Amino acid sequence: MEINRLEGIIEAILFTMGNSVELSRIAAAIEHDEATTRKIIYNMMDKYEAQDRGIRIIELENSFQMCTKTEMYEYLIRIAKQPRRYTLTDVQLETLSIIAYKQPVTKLEIEKIRGVKSDHAVNKLIEYNLVCELGRLDAPGRPLLFGTTEEFLRRFSVHSLDELPSPNPEQVENFKTEAEEEAQLKLKV
């Protein structure tokens, strides 16, 4: 009976908070250690999957959040009529990948890698809540530092940045070679 009560408390916390809640805060609320709390939450996650519920609990960097299963989106769309959906352009995806792999990163560093201005792309990514300002670099001009958000993790279905795929070393070398050749061509012109 105790486990059902604890699951009910955790469910209420995650439902009410809406956003992700750190494991330590959940553990403190139910007055149990983090390892036990994590086991209870994992058990709840398994139950939701087994019962084919419309919701699920996801883990995001040692935090948990209740959300709707993606299979239910079409039904939500029927209710909402005009869901707020956006499509990332190639420029935005390129900028987002630079930020994800290099964070914290300044706009100047992003523009150095891309070779063009990135103001619009960064601003759109902030608007979509995929990127946020992380502070300022301790350097002349104190440029803003950017990084990814929890929303980025949710949208790309990863629990933490450690799960991002590693670049293929061969591809990295090819990219470097192409960039050097391109730079040489620009110097000749």
Position 122 scores a pLDDT of: 94
Contacts of 148 (CB under 8 A, 6+ apart): 96, 99, 100, 103, 130, 131, 132, 161
CATH number of 2-78: 1.10.10.10, 3.40.50.2000, 1.20.120.720, 2.30.130.10?
1.10.10.10
Position 86 scores a pLDDT of: 75
Position 73 scores a pLDDT of: 84
Domain with CATH 1.10.10.10 in the chain: 2-78, 90-188
pLDDT (tens place) for every residue of the chain, 189 residues total: 598 899 999 999 999 988 899 999 999 999 999 999 999 999 999 999 888 888 899 999 899 999 988 888 888 877 776 656 678 898 999 999 999 999 999 999 999 888 889 999 999 999 999 999 999 988 888 999 999 999 999 888 888 888 888 877 777 677 677 767 776 776 666
Provide DSSP, the chain.
-HHHHHHHHHHHHHHHH-S-EEHHHHHHHHTS-HHHHHHHHHHHHHHHHHTT-SEEEEE-SSEEEEEE-GGGHHHHHHHHSS-------HHHHHHHHHHHHH-SB-HHHHHHHHSS--HHHHHHHHHTTSEEEEEE-SSTT--EEEEE-HHHHHHTT-SSGGGSPPPPHHHHHHHHHHHHHHHHHHHH-
Position 177 scores a pLDDT of: 77
The CATH number of the domain covering residues in 90-188: 1.10.10.10
Position 183 scores a pLDDT of: 67
